[in-house]
Each structure stands twice: as structure tokens, then as C-alpha cells.
Chain A
Amino acid sequence: MAYSDKVIDHYTNPRNVGTLDKSSHKVGTGLVGAPECGDVMRLQIEVGEDNVITDAKFKTFGCGSAIASSSLATEWLKGKSIDDAMKIDNMDIVEELALPPVKIHCSVLAEDAIKAAINDFRVKNGMAPIESEKVHH
């Protein structure tokens, strides 16, 4: 199976690889997936005043598409308010990276990671977590 140029680009030059201080109240961490399933994503956001995301980092164990999906997600998150970030849909990632059907679960995982990171931040800062209306399996 051939990868799209965008997947190869993100995979070869992943953006925003790294770790933020998860104990900071400004940082939200989402850890999703499972080693048994062959992908684990950890996505972190740092949120400034007005609930705008000032930084985002990721680390991913998974295939090229999983790494590219999380790399792309961090790019999209920076500068967005946490409310707008919550609206990122996995199909946006599928479209941007031209993921084939067997790789859609990678984009789902990235969306889950975004939502988990935002909710972690919300809970830390006394806000109620937002339940996702979509249920992915």
C-alpha cells in the first residue's frame, strides 16, 4: 500500500514531537489506544488565557498513518480555542492526509486523543468534561 505524500511528510518530519509537563494545570493530556492494538497516542495541549491552545505535543506508537494523524492534529490545535478544537473531526484528518479506509481508525484515534486532552484540561480547571456525541469503536 502506498502512502500519500502528506503522510510521508508528517511521518518523515513529524511536527511537535515531545512532552509537556502533565502536572501543570495549563496542560491537558490525552493517552488513547492500546499497545495490544498496535497504536497508542499521547497528545498534550498547553492552554493559555481565553482558553486558547498555545502549544501542542505528541508521541505515538503506531504505523505511519497514526504518527502522521497525531502530528497533523498538533499543528491544527495550536492557536485554536479549546471549544473550536473540540470540533475537529476525524474525517477532516482522513481528507487532509488522504488516508485509505483501513487507516481511518488512525484518524479516529487522533480525534479521541484531542478530546481526551481537552477534557483532561477542563477537569483540571474545574470545568465539566464534554461528552462526545460520536461513539467510535
Chain B
Amino acid sequence: MNLPIYLDNNATTPMDPRVLEAMLPYFTTKFGNAASRNHPFGWVAEEGVDYAREQVAKLIGASEKEIIFTSGATESDNLAIKGVFEMYKEKGNHIITTVTEHKAVLDACKHLEKLGGKVTYLPVKEDGLVDLELLEQSMTPETILVSVMYGNNEIGVIQPIKEISAIAHKHGALFMTDAVQAVGKIPVNVNTDGIDLLALSAHKIYGPKGVGALYVRRKGPRVKVTAQMDGGGHERGMRSGTLNVPGIVGLGKACELCGLEMESEAKRLSALRDKLQNSLTVLEESYVNGNIEHRLPHVANISFKYVEGEGLMMAMKDLAVSSGSACTSASLEPSYVLKSLGLSDDLAHSSIRFGLGRFTTEEEVDYAIEVTKKSVNHLRELSPLWEMFKEGVDLSKIEWAEH
């Protein structure tokens, strides 16, 4: 076992060597521009792209014509939201999303508010799931788009996508989902799930960074988005720019591997995740954040009360994890996702996200359990809050000097 151990697979994943192998020729011998239609160098590159398009489409039950390659999910989210807003402005200007979305979605929506868009940011329930009744009530004749992420990056909860898309469609709106954390980890099907637009990224599924895709439905209804970059009219005019052929080939291979291995991998990872979670929640005053039933198989977000997350990560120096404590950021604000679950700030500061992945072994999980337990106990010995809790002091009754 090599240290440190990588348990931050929601942030990014290592690239699968099989993906790298597929990509390599496209850097050197197959270097052509996929848009060069008049010589073999272009044809070979285009073939690689076409094959990748099929591989991506297959993973999400789409047709290859519905896949637009982008530089990553942030671009896909922006293209979908801003592109729909521009394309459908005759119909309406209202977008519905949730407070727990990725910043790429939230900030794209905020941008549209400056351009006359109306955006409803739905709160979520304590378990992180969207309240379907509230969604239904929020729909208006002007609603053109409902954008709800498939699986959450911080807590891993899976939204009721079928129900949400049905509500959107009932009211004549399109349904878009940021499925970055879900695609390749759990079955996602644009038809049975009723998805009109879907953003995905290669580097979360053991592919390269800097490449992603946007699925845009072509039939029932035919969805259009206004391009957000002007240029050569690549990708059916929706996304100009010379195609990142090696990256796209890598994304395709990554999708193919996920399709082949997802089922067994999900079982393996959820067993490891449950082992980790069950061993850590044995610790007093530790809580799992978010719904545990509707959750991605590889994620556990746990708060260890009376211990600060960043301090804890420093103690677990051989584990690469992440924390909802934003002590490193200038704002000092803890995670907005955890806060939106109704978690108090102190519990949000005390959270650790464990993200397992394809290369995580049981030995590593066992090690992570031991290190985490030891570190939590060590820091509690140092924590005045833990001492007060043990003495029976009600911490909520203390007048803290907030700084």
C-alpha cells in the first residue's frame, strides 16, 4: 500500500491506464484536425471522434448525434443554461434550479438574472433531496428550464430525476441535469429518465481533464441551444473550436469502461463505503450527511462533531479527502451544500467527504478507518468543545463572540 491514499474521487479521478493507451496515438501519429475533410489525417482523427461519440452516447442511452463535445462540465452547464435561455426567450425567462447545484450551474443562473432572467433556487429537504411538491408549485407558464443535478458532488445524494423531469415536461419546460458525479457510477438513461440536456465530464470517470460533453436531445422534443462561442461552427454549430481529439478519444474510452464495469464496481464500492461509514459512525457524535438510501455508491460525507474539518485533514495527512470546512478559503464560510441541509455551521465545519474510486482497495479503506478514528480522538482531546460537551455544558447556551 502506497501513502498517501487518495479518497477524493469526487474532486477528480486518476486516469485509467487503458484510457491513456487509447489516447496516445492521437497526440502523435493520429494528430489530424477532425475538421480537415480533405485528407487522411483529418479522416483518421474524425473516425476517432465519431467512435468516441458512440461510446459516450451508449453509456447514457443517447444517439451519437446528440453528443456535443466541450472542454468539461462547467462549459457544458454554461452552454446548456445560457444556450436554452437565449434560444427559448420568446417562450419565457424563468429557470428553476436548486441551492445545492454545482457553482457552474448556480453562477450561470446568476449571470442570466442580470440579463433579465428569473431564477428560482429551490431549497432541499434535510436529506438533500428536492421537494417535488415545491417544484410543482414553482412551475409557471414562463418556465423554460428545470436544472437539477443527478448526484450531488459533496454528499452524493441522487435526486428523483424521473419525477423531476416529468414535472418539468408536464408544464412544458425542458429538463437539464448536471450528471457529472452520476454518469459512469450508476445507470443513467436520457430516455427513461426524461432528460433533455445532460452535462458530463471525463476526469470524474477516469478520463482526462479538460474534456466533457453536453447531451442535447434531438427528438421529442428537438432541443436547441444558442452557441456561446463564435467560430467555425463545429459540433452542429453549438460549440465552435477545434476538437480536442485525444481528450475526446479518452472520454469515449472512459465511458466504454464505465459501461462495462459499472455494475460490479458499484457493488464493490458501496460495500467498501458502507464498511468505512459503519466503522466511523461508531465514534460518538458522528453523523452521515444527506440521504443514505438514494446515494452514489462511492461517497460518504460524515461530520465529526467538536472537531474542525481542516484540522482533522491535517491530522490525517496520509489521506487525501476533502472537508466542508472552508477554513482555507478567504470567505471562511463552510459548505453551502451542507448548510442548505439545515446543518449548523459547526457541523458543516466538522465534515469530511470520503470519495472512493476504481483504484481504492479494501486495505486502503481499513487504513483510512484507523487513521480517521485516531485523528478524531486525538483532536477531541485538544477540543475545548468536546470537553464542555463531556461535562454536560449546553454549547448552544454559550454566548460566543463571533469574529
Contacts and interface: CB of A to CB of B under 8 A. Distances in A.
Interface of A: 1, 3, 11, 14, 17, 19, 31-42, 59-64, 66-67, 102, 105, 108-109, 112, 136-137
B308 A39 contact: yes
Question: Could you say which interface size class chain B belongs to?
Answer: 20 to 34
Given A61-B306, A61-B307, A37 B328 contact: no
Contact of B382 (A31, A34, A67): A67
Given A31-B384, A36-B346, A102-B330, A62 B403 contact: no
B403 A60 contact: no
B239 interface: no
B266 to A, nearest CB: 34
B344 A36 contact: yes
A19 B388 CA distance: 11
A9 B400 CA distance: 29
8 contacts: A19-B387, A31-B384, A34-B400, A36-B344, A36-B345, A36-B402, A61-B383, A67-B311
Contacts of A62: 308, 311, 327
A63 B400 contact: no
B384 A61 contact: yes
A102 B396 CA distance: 27
B310 interface: yes
Given A35-B395, A66-B311, A102-B328, A40 B384 contact: yes
Contacts of B386: 61
Contacts of A42: 384
Contacts of A66: 308, 311
B382 A1 contact: no
B384 A1 contact: no
Contact of B387 (A32, A38, A59, A109): A59
Contacts of A105: 332, 403
B308 A63 contact: yes
Among B308, B334, B349, the one with the most A-chain Cβ atoms within 10 Å of its Cβ is: B308
B308 A61 contact: yes
B334 A60 contact: no
Contact of B327 (A17, A63, A109): A63
B163 interface: no
B401 A34 contact: yes
B264 interface: no
Contacts of B403: 32-34, 37, 105, 108-109, 112, 136-137
